[in-house]
Chains A and B, each alone.
Chain A
Amino acid sequence: MFAGNDLTCIRGERVVFRGLDFVAAPGVALVLQGPNGAGKSSLLRLAAGLLTAAEGALTWNGTAITQDPDAHSACLVYVGHLDAVKPALTARENLAFWSRLGGGPAEVGGALESLGLGPLADVRTRLLSAGERRRLNLARLALRPAKLWLLDEPTVSLDAASVALFAALARAHLGAGGLIIAATHVALDLPGRVLAMRSNARAA
């Protein structure tokens, strides 16, 4: 159970949201929805520990993540709206770097296959399309079993077949008792709950 209580996020001098609560439970995706500027990306970055909340706390089963930030970052995979792909490296090299950085194996063929990137494994990523790069970024989800997935618009620039591949991966993750928090406008046919976020333009 991953939860946020009474979260306030201030970026720059602007309050993105105030007094926000959420609960993400195993097996059920928490889908963030709301207009631009409602703070979906901010909430995901907050949950990843990339931002710190001005007020409020994020907890795992009641234990604040600030108690052990390293343990928290070890059990999550964050997929932002940037693909973190180096154009000079091949798809396999890109993914292998992230795998080994997290202490995983250098062999990433399985993860590439799971998003249909097998045939492109040894192609320099500068030659890949936007959707293929996105799939390479999403392939990090298949590298190692992480408890919590934080996904910021994961299906942007994916074609229908790729969306289906990704949805299958997400369903398997949820089925295994994993947690997902995702900002998305695409219906993924996942067991999920919606967290509606409002636009909140107030000063700090």
Chain B
Amino acid sequence: MLHRFANPARFGRIIAAILPWGAGASVLLLALGLYLALFVVPPDYQQKETVRIMFVHVPAAWMATMIYAVMALASAVALVWKHPVADLSAKAAAPIGAGFTFVALATGSLWGQPMWGSWWVWDARLTSVLILFFLYLGYIALWEAIDDPARAAKAAAILALVGAVNVPIIKFSVDWWNTLHQPASILKLSGSTIHASMLYPLLVMIAGFTAFFVTVLIIRMQRELAARRVRALALGGSADS
């Protein structure tokens, strides 16, 4: 099953076929999600209109975590099965994940201002997302720092796996730290009791962000595959293989 997609040329054709569907789905879902979030959902009795920020913040934070998981999975595939496009997909995913992480941080900060009267609060979730952002930066920096793409791919894959093992531990420690230092009473960014009228727009936004991620990932991977072909040609070899 796996090696059917391993051939970069065939893989290129498959992702090119998915691209228009992904692009269409992201436009539709994001338009629908934003419409629901901005116009249909009633203002919260406590948070008023600012609750609408949640429809960007929560999906972005969710994507940030999910993309890191995708990167770790792709890295494991690259290390174990030496799959030729797995490391490229991890590389292509990282800046998108970092982008979502940044969006989650920025919206969290914007939300915090009216809620807590401060642009930044050391809330457990925001702090975890901030650390995730640093993990993304380290991963991207490692790719940039190593000249030999094959070696960079393997080093980055090991780092992604080490990070993936540590992310739950970091999350656990930050939650622990937060409960010890801020005994309750402050409003958490994601209410665990979300009303159904809010849940659907949220799910639509998550689906839209996922489609957007897939679309951008494909575009970035096409670039990476093309760049690899250029490097191969520069060394005088055949374009495929």
| Residues of B close to A203: CB separation below 8 A | 231-238
| Residues of B close to A14: CB separation below 8 A | 235
| Interface segment, one of B91-99, B144-152, B169-177 | B144-152
Cβ-defined contact, A12 with B236, below 8 A: no
Cβ-defined contact, B236 with A13, below 8 A: no
- Which residues of A2-55 are within 8 A (CB) of B? 10-15
| Residues of B close to A15: CB separation below 8 A | 237
| Residues of B close to A106: CB separation below 8 A | none
Cβ-defined contact, B151 with A13, below 8 A: no
**B192 beta carbon closer than 8 Å to chain A:** no
Residue among A10, A202, A203 with max Cβ neighbours from chain B (10 Å)? A203
Flag A176-204 by CB within 8 Å of B: 1 or 0 each: 00000000000000000000000001111
Cβ-defined contact, A202 with B231, below 8 A: no
Cβ-defined contact, A204 with B149, below 8 A: no
B contact residues, total (Cβ < 8 Å) = 14
Cβ-defined contact, B149 with A13, below 8 A: yes
A contact residues, total (Cβ < 8 Å) = 10
| Residues of A close to B234: CB separation below 8 A | 203
| Residues of A close to B149: CB separation below 8 A | 12-13
Report B225 CB to chain A, min CB distance, Å.
Answer: 13
| Residues of B close to A11: CB separation below 8 A | 148, 150
- Which residues of B187-231 are within 8 A (CB) of A? 228, 231
Report A81 CB to chain B, min CB distance, Å.
Answer: 19
Residue among A10, A11, A13 with max Cβ neighbours from chain B (10 Å)? A13
Report A52 CB to chain B, min CB distance, Å.
Answer: 11
Flag B144-170 by CB within 8 Å of A: 1 or 0 each: 000011110000000000000000000
Q: Given A12-B148, A12-B150, A13-B150, are A202 and B236 also a contact pair (CB < 8 Å)? A: yes
| Given pairs A14-B235, A203-B236, 9 additional interface contacts (CB within 8 A) | A12-B151, A13-B149, A13-B232, A201-B235, A201-B236, A203-B231, A203-B233, A203-B235, A204-B237
Closest 9 CB pairs of A and B: A203-B237, A203-B232, A203-B235, A12-B148, A202-B237, A12-B150, A14-B235, A201-B236, A13-B150
